[in-house]
Amino acid sequence: MLNIIISLFLGILLGLISGIVPSLHINLVTIIVLSLLKSQNIIDLLTLIVSLSVSNSFFNTIPLTFFSIPDSPETSISTNPAQKFTSFGKSYEAFLLTIIGSISSLITFLIFSPLILYVYPTLFSFIKPSTSLLLLLVVLFTLIKEKTSRIWALISFLFSGLLGIFTLTSYNIKEPLLPLLSGLFAIPSMLSNLKNKEERTEQKITQPEINKFRLIKLNFLSLLCSLFSTFLPAVGPSQSAVLASSITKISLSESLILTGSLTTLNILFSLITLKTINKSRNGSLESLKDIIPKFSSNELIFSIIISIIVAGISAALAIYFARKFIKNIKSLKLDYLNKFFILLTLILVLIISKPIGILVMLTGTAIGFIPIFKNISRNHLMGCIILPVIFYTLKIL
């Protein structure tokens, strides 16, 4: 029992670190942890990985809401809403909205999980033959929904897709997601923050006003969109958000709730898919297959209980840290922080992925600037995962 508690808190701590450091992707942390602790008891490792994954989904909105750095495709969709809240001095409120989304989606998930578990295998076998066609439709849909420039959205998608194909299929690049995602998402945002040295608005602790009926509606919508996205490899929370926003009109505050909700649901649905089809949509949970070849019902129930405990602790910790941030944000040298994270990313990439990783990161950074300069959504950069998957399902790769 003591080992489980230690694993749970270690997982939360690692989730906090990987959530706050923009380039430290959860998959990389999981691989390092598993290689160091592979001789540990299965239940301890399961607790550790589930805690790490769930807590990361709470903490990974910190860089986005406080420093305008989306460190992953999951949170990139809310860059603009978060920046707008920050410009009004309401970054704490923006952060709180993502936490409300995460917690409320967990409750919705718990209510509907027995039904989802029951129907999922049938739905999956029905949809599986049409995966590549549905993926193409999702890509077309997100391109059509782009209001500013569809041409540049297509170029962003194709360039990031080509980069993804060469990076993910190469046998010379270790941990390819590290340079790929840091280059496309985190580094361009940090460089852009360094370039735009506007006077930072004073940040205050303000509370969001939430319409309970809208919150229930949003949760139900995000549950359906997340469920749909589980059938399609590479389609993540950012594409689910585009889908959700096309079904109903979503305000700035609601898009932040949606981000929290979709990111947490992405992890929780991975537990369901691990049990029902022995596949996970999340890299960290997928690594559980090396420890537990067949994920049983008992392990699923145990993981859900751990998720509930971790969600509660993570939400409380996240709010505590956010309040500390707000009080001390004036003394924080954001320029230094951005430079530190860029340097840290460079060192990590050089050590883990070697010089070829730096080339991937540099190319990714150049591609990642296209949406920033052209003011289009960054979810088109998810081409880095979606295009290789389309090619793979069509047996081109």
Partner 1 sequence: MQDKKLFLLAIIIAILGLILLIILTSINEKTTEISEVKKLQLDSKVNLIGKLTNIEKSKDVTKFNITDETGTIKGIIFKSLELRENKLFEIKGVVKTYKNSIEIHVNSIKES
Rounded distance between C-alpha atoms, residue 234 and residue 383, angstroms: 9
Strands (E), 288-375: none
**Min CB(58)–partner 1 separation in Å:** 26
Kindly state the DSSP code that residue 234 receives in the 8-state scheme.
Answer: T
Q: Is 293 in the site for partner 1 (CB under 8 A)?
A: yes
**Min CB(175)–partner 1 separation in Å:** 9
Which of 314/363 has CB closer to partner 1?
Answer: 363
Number of chain residues interacting with partner 1 (CB under 8 A):
30
Q: Is 375 in the site for partner 1 (CB under 8 A)?
A: no
**Min CB(38)–partner 1 separation in Å:** 8
Q: Is 219 in the site for partner 1 (CB under 8 A)?
A: no
Assign 3-class secondary structure to 106-152: HHHHHHHHHHHHHHHHHHHHHHHHHHHHHHHHHHHHHHHCCCCCHHH
Q: Is 385 in the site for partner 1 (CB under 8 A)?
A: no
Quick one: tokens of 39? 């001789």
- Cα 150–chain centre separation: 24
Rounded distance between C-alpha atoms, residue 70 and residue 189, angstroms: 7
**Min CB(260)–partner 1 separation in Å:** 30
Quick one: tokens of 96? 């709180």
List 28, 163, 315, 387, residue binding partner 1 (CB under 8 A): 163
Q: Is 162 in the site for partner 1 (CB under 8 A)?
A: yes
Residues with Cβ within 8 Å of residue 324, at least 6 apart in sequence: none
**Residue reference for tokens 């019902």:** 297
- The helix/strand/coil state of 40 is coil
Strands (E), 238-289: none
Which of 112/391 has CB closer to partner 1?
Answer: 391
Q: Is 356 in the site for partner 1 (CB under 8 A)?
A: yes
Residues 27-86, interacting with partner 1 (CB under 8 A): 31, 34-35, 38
Q: Candidates 58-66, 240-248, 268-276, 361-369 — which segment interacts with partner 1 by CB under 8 A? A: 361-369
**Min CB(369)–partner 1 separation in Å:** 4
Which of 249/294 has CB closer to partner 1?
Answer: 294
List 51, 60, 167, 379, residue binding partner 1 (CB under 8 A): 167
Residues with Cβ within 8 Å of residue 300, at least 6 apart in sequence: 117, 271, 272, 274, 275
- The CA-based dihedral angle spanning residues 75, 141, 168, 358, taken in that order and rounded to the nearest 10 degrees: -50
**Min CB(206)–partner 1 separation in Å:** 33
Rounded distance between C-alpha atoms, residue 341 and residue 393, angstroms: 36
List 170, 201, 211, 251, residue binding partner 1 (CB under 8 A): 170
Residues that bind partner 1 (CB under 8 A): 31, 34-35, 38, 159, 162-163, 166-167, 169-174, 287, 290, 293, 356, 359-360, 362-363, 365-367, 369-370, 373, 397
